[in-house]
Amino acid sequence: MVLSDISIKRPVFATVMALVLIIFGLFALRGMAVREYPDIDPPAVNVSTIYRGASAEIIESKITQVIEDSVAGIEGIRTITSASREESSSISIEFNLSRNVDAAANDVRDKVSRILSKLPDEADQPIIAKTEADARPIIYISLFSDRLSLLELTDYADRYLVDQMSIIDGVASVNIYGARRYSMRVYLDRMAMAARNVTVQDVEEAIRRQNVELPSGRVESNTREFTVRADSGLRTAQQFRNVVLREQDGYLLRLGEVAKVELGAEDDRTEQRINGVTAIGLGIIRQSKANAMEISTGVAATVDRLKDSLPTGVRMEVTYDQSKFISQSIYEVFHALTVALSLVIGVIFLFLRSWRATLIPAVAIPVSVIGSFIVIGSLGYSINVLTLLALVLAIGLVVDDAIVVLENIHRRIELGEPPLLASLRGARQIGFAVIATTVVLIAVFVPISLMDGNTGRLFREFGMSVAAAVLFSGFVALTLTPMMCSKLLHEAKEEGRFYHVTEKFFVGLGNGYGRLLRRSLGTPVVVLGLGVAVSIAAFLMFKALPREFAPIEDRGAFFVIVEGPEGSSYDYTRKNVIQMEKVLEKHIKSGAVTIVMSNVAPAWGGRPAPVNSGFVVVRMADWDKRDVKQQEIARQVFRELQALTGVRAIVVNPPSLGLPGAQSPVRFILGGSTYAQLDEWSDRIMVKAQENPNLLGLKKNYQPTRPEIRVQIDRDRAADLGVNVETIGRTLETMLGSREVTNFQRDGKQYKVLVQAPVDQRVTPNDLNNIYVRGSNTGGKLVPLASLVSIQEGASARELNRTDRLRSVMIEASMVPGYTLGQALDYLDGVAAEVLPPEVRISYSGQSREYKESSAAIFITFGLALIVVFLVLAGQFESWIHPIIIILSVPLAVTGALAGLLLAGQTLNVYSQIGIIMLVGLIAKNGILIVEFSNQLRDEGQGIYDAVVNASIARLRPILMTTIATVFGAVPLAFASGAGAESRAALGWVIVGGMTFATLLSLFVVPVLYLLLARFTKPAGFIARKLSELEKTPDVEAGKAEPAE
């Protein structure tokens, strides 16, 4: 007894099964997390090390290479990248997606701990964190005050806000931007020091010696005990001024006589401005695997709680929240879901013209979709944009099986069968086709679920969500649908005027199709020739379509990366950033932009950025409050900023699919053995690339043009005078580089004591000549540094980069609108092949790497999908010919999909490519209906020609219904608007174009192919009948058994 028979005979049981699906589906949905995308964030561990006073070259050789060599053998590493800068090393280790980030971090800690003895003694211990090296905040919180100074505001944030934000689940760190942290600034007057025979070392030693906090024991008696605390620490500027440097002939020489001491900012060369107003910013950086939505919820709750306790005159607000786009895009997909549901139900009613009949597939939709959450939830998936997109498309798919069953039962009722009998026979008749189409659609997503890398992980949830919905739709179509048909459908009776008018149309449509079909079957060469021409057109359109990794989405914000000339000052950069704010001011007045957040020399990852750099976040108004798209404003701002010639301004639209923001899309990496060679090779690429007007903001991350003063020490002269080389180096470091000597306490918190020469005494290279040191062979007298060193001006690179343990130089660029990432990378690949020697290793990063990897994976997946579907069909039809007939309609679908993309101005990207793979299963459904019904008619004794004609005409209405339902289910995606609409549109147009075009042609191509190829097959019942006849013959071994001994 088949499943449909049981459901019709036991309607309560069929209803219970549907209710169970709904209840368990809702229960699974309740426990699912909400996030933007599936968990595709690569497990990343960062190792950062500080080595004060060391150059980038020393950092690379003594720290970066040592640590890289130690961690390189850890299992599951995808890439290792590093940046060696002056005084700091940063190594980012990205692991394969399958690697647990906590286990990876533990492995890194273990490896690093084993080589600590190989690192310089003066270097700080490496800090290991579960985040990327240059991770950007996902949320910015700004503090304003008209009463507190920036020093006081920073101190308040440090004391009371940072810890509150840091304990939120998923937060890796909280950085303060535009910070002015308290410090005790000791500005040494070199002339006063020389006059009093005082060196830098004298000052540092005196401060350390007299600023100590030591336990002093206790005093006990028989009845009481006192703790003794020596108040020996220094806390105020006056106390530091009174530090005794030396006693001579009863005179105490104090620090205040050779230095200006004041409570000031640790670093005043950074600033954050919100719409032109100076502020302090808190940047919330998430852990590499954390959920941005959950962090945002926690931050919002914390901000609301803390607002009531802020000091008078202090205002706090969230100025940028990445999750706002996430929640809005999820809302838009939910909206598309409801629109698709309404459209599909409308289509069903238009064809069936009966609310009773329409109710049947309308019930199948929520049962199948909600039931799919049982599978989605059990696999640990989340509610995200892609799973919801899958369910939007599933609206048009899950109804297909119910439509096919319903239409067949409805047709039999119209032919005169009672509803109960028609339901029983109709469900049996169409059962195999339902199972076949369900299995084929599920089989299409098997290759998608096997894809490697980020793209595979990304669309695994998409594919499995569609597959789960289709699986349950097949189940519902064979259980609930025939049962409801037997209860709700009535015997044929006189219908109303609307029915008769529409019926004339459908009858005329069927008759017209029949005439065209017979003509096509009479001229198969013409039809097949048209199919070949269409396939050639698909190839040409594929070559013509621009390619990229993912569409640029309107995410409600864009970034401006600011770079001044190497060697330019903080004041120079700040002045140019303020000029940019004035350019952007008109967009604020227009209402399109709400917030312009400027950061001058921002401290990414807690590490001060170069003072010639800036970063601007431009936040757009909400999507429903503006008519212009983010991309259009970004394009306009880029043109306007080109008028500012003092700095380079690169406008960057944030990427989608979880890729790091504020990066140029083109990231082309050259790897080699020496930076000199890499510099020469990258210059060759740059010269050629600058000839391409479609590449914007070309730059490379190795620029040996940073001005520097090289101090050459006369070692023999220094030895004669008894001056230690280390003394010279430490003196220069203190006077010019702000050396941290010790700490002091203020209101229970530790702050730095920084010793340095005042700004006016370190303006030109000649100022180095007025610094003095003491020699052991000079009788205690000071020696001018000018007599021990020579000064030479030169240039060097600000940072030295490595990729996968090779020295590397990365070329970055953006593209003009209409010029895609694929075109840019193809151009650079061609240039590299032309101008570079073969020993250069070429790799990619960011969007460029994902594009390259996904492009190769998609082709393999598409081919694998065809093979899997072919094998599934072969197994179901027990034939090698029938699958060929069905599979040959796939090029028609691809042609329609590519035509849809071209007409809509879309690109070939991961979304459209996944849609094309889906079409393999979708268009196969139409072929299955025609081939299966033709086989049934042949089995009943009809000839091939009559069978295919009658089957095609009989299946016309369900094919049109299912196709239009699928197309209308995708229409809300194709015509999407709002947050993230661009990605939804790419997928929607593939389905709309592919299904529409392929269905129109496959209605003729599939019957022609069946007519030509079915002669090489036997009717489905042929083997069964032959075996039945042969079973009647006597068993040849009967009676020949050997007698038992």
Q: pLDDT tens-digit profile of 725-783?
A: 888 888 888 888 778 889 998 888 899 999 999 988 888 877 877 888 888 888 778 88
Q: Report the 10 Å Cβ neighbour count for 458.
A: 25
pLDDT of residue 755: 92
Winning range, highest mean pLDDT, from 595-599, 882-886, 961-965: 595-599
Judgement on whether residues 788 and 902 belong to the same structural domain of the protein: no
| Residue pLDDT, tens place only, 357-366 | 788 888 888 8
Judgement on whether residues 883 and 1022 belong to the same structural domain of the protein: yes
Q: Would residue 472 count as lying in a domain?
A: yes
Identify the burial level of 43 via C-beta atoms within 10 angstroms of its C-beta, where 0-12 means exposed, 13-18 middle and 19 or more buried: buried
- CA nearest neighbour of 964 among 153, 550, 193, 397: 397
Is the pLDDT confidence value at 134 over 60?
A: no
Q: Which amino acid is at 285?
A: I
Judgement on whether residues 620 and 729 belong to the same structural domain of the protein: no
Judgement on whether residues 423 and 364 belong to the same structural domain of the protein: yes
Is the pLDDT confidence value at 1045 over 60?
A: no
- The model's confidence at residue 63, banded by pLDDT at 50, 70 and 90, is very high
Give how far Cα 925 sits from Cα of 120, 243, 366, 436, 958, Å. Answer: 68, 89, 22, 8, 11
Between 125-129, 318-322, 716-720, 851-855, the lowest mean confidence (pLDDT) is in: 851-855
Q: Would residue 999 count as lying in a domain?
A: yes
Q: What is the CATH number of the domain that holds 967?
A: 1.20.1640.10
Q: Are 773 and 785 in contact (CB under 8 A)?
A: yes
Which SS3 state, helix, strand or coil, does residue 697 take? strand
What angle do helix axes 200-210 and 725-737 make, rounded to 10 degrees? 80
Residues 94, 40: Cα–Cα separation, whole Å: 12
Q: Would residue 459 count as lying in a domain?
A: yes
| Residue pLDDT, tens place only, 424-442 | 888 888 787 778 778 877 8
> Which of 446, 462, 490 delimits the end of a domain?
490
Judgement on whether residues 482 and 611 belong to the same structural domain of the protein: no
pLDDT of residue 607: 59
pLDDT of residue 984: 85
- CA nearest neighbour of 130 among 67, 41, 42, 44: 44
Judgement on whether residues 478 and 523 belong to the same structural domain of the protein: no
- CA nearest neighbour of 991 among 281, 396, 380, 225: 396
- The model's confidence at residue 809, banded by pLDDT at 50, 70 and 90, is very high
Q: Would residue 754 count as lying in a domain?
A: yes
Residues 125, 941: Cα–Cα separation, whole Å: 85
Q: Would residue 107 count as lying in a domain?
A: yes
Higher pLDDT pick, 386 / 281: 281
As a residue count, the chain comes to 1045
Residues 476, 478: Cα–Cα separation, whole Å: 5
Judgement on whether residues 586 and 537 belong to the same structural domain of the protein: no
Residues 300, 279: Cα–Cα separation, whole Å: 19
Q: Would residue 892 count as lying in a domain?
A: yes
Is the pLDDT confidence value at 881 over 70?
A: yes
pLDDT of residue 299: 92
Average pLDDT, rounded, for the chain: 84
C-alpha count within 13 angstroms, C-beta hemisphere, residue 13: 9
Higher pLDDT pick, 1033 / 190: 190
| Residue pLDDT, tens place only, 246-257 | 887 788 899 999
Residues 993, 809: Cα–Cα separation, whole Å: 43
Residues 605, 534: Cα–Cα separation, whole Å: 54
Is the pLDDT confidence value at 260 over 90?
A: yes
pLDDT of residue 1020: 59
- The model's confidence at residue 1, banded by pLDDT at 50, 70 and 90, is very low
Phi, psi of 587 (to 5 degrees): -75, -30
- The model's confidence at residue 494, banded by pLDDT at 50, 70 and 90, is low
pLDDT of residue 64: 93
Q: Which amino acid is at 761?
A: Q
Which SS3 state, helix, strand or coil, does residue 129 take? strand
* H helix or E strand, kind and range, residue 625: none
pLDDT of residue 606: 53
pLDDT of residue 492: 59
pLDDT of residue 241: 93
pLDDT of residue 108: 92
Structure tokens that stand for 461 in this block: 């949830």
Which SS3 state, helix, strand or coil, does residue 90 take? strand
Residues 649-658: what's their mean pLDDT? 80
Q: Report the 10 Å Cβ neighbour count for 147.
A: 10
Higher pLDDT pick, 397 / 649: 649
| Residue pLDDT, tens place only, 447-479 | 777 776 667 777 788 888 888 888 888 888 888
Q: What is the CATH number of the domain that holds 106?
A: 3.30.70.1430
Judgement on whether residues 717 and 635 belong to the same structural domain of the protein: no
Judgement on whether residues 521 and 625 belong to the same structural domain of the protein: no
Q: What is the pTM of this model?
A: 0.79
Structure tokens that stand for 988 in this block: 């929607």
Residue-range definition of the domain harbouring residue 900 = 505-544+878-1030
Specify which residues 799 forms β-bridges with: 85
- CA nearest neighbour of 798 among 721, 873, 701: 701
Q: What is the CATH number of the domain that holds 237?
A: 3.30.2090.10
Which SS3 state, helix, strand or coil, does residue 192 take? helix
Residues 393, 402: Cα–Cα separation, whole Å: 16
> Which of 762, 779, 796 delimits the end of a domain?
796
Is the pLDDT confidence value at 896 over 80?
A: yes
Judgement on whether residues 560 and 540 belong to the same structural domain of the protein: no
Judgement on whether residues 427 and 376 belong to the same structural domain of the protein: yes
* H helix or E strand, kind and range, residue 635: helix 630-641
Number of domains in the chain: 5
Q: Would residue 659 count as lying in a domain?
A: no
Which SS3 state, helix, strand or coil, does residue 332 take? helix
Is the pLDDT confidence value at 1041 over 60?
A: no
- CA 952 to chain centroid, in Å, comes to 46
Phi, psi of 758 (to 5 degrees): -65, 160
Q: Are 482 and 423 in contact (CB under 8 A)?
A: yes
Specify which residues 139 forms β-bridges with: 284, 321
pLDDT of residue 1043: 55
Q: Are 36 and 456 in contact (CB under 8 A)?
A: no
Q: What is the CA radius of gyration of the chain?
A: 37
Residue 117 makes CB contacts below 8 A (sequence gap 6+) with none
- The model's confidence at residue 65, banded by pLDDT at 50, 70 and 90, is very high
- The model's confidence at residue 135, banded by pLDDT at 50, 70 and 90, is low
Secondary structure (DSSP) of 827-896 = HHHHHHHHHS-TT-EEEE-HHHHHHHHHHHHHHHHHHHHHHHHHHHHHHHHT-SHHHHHHHTTHHHHHHH
Q: Would residue 850 count as lying in a domain?
A: no
Q: Are 461 and 391 in contact (CB under 8 A)?
A: no
Euclidean distance between the first and the last CA atom of the chain, given in angstroms as a whole number: 46
> Which of 94, 129, 164 delimits the end of a domain?
129
Which SS3 state, helix, strand or coil, does residue 752 take? strand
Is the pLDDT confidence value at 978 over 50?
A: yes
Residues 284, 97: Cα–Cα separation, whole Å: 24
Judgement on whether residues 474 and 616 belong to the same structural domain of the protein: no
Residues 376, 468: Cα–Cα separation, whole Å: 7
Q: Are 100 and 141 in contact (CB under 8 A)?
A: no
Q: Are 43 and 94 in contact (CB under 8 A)?
A: yes
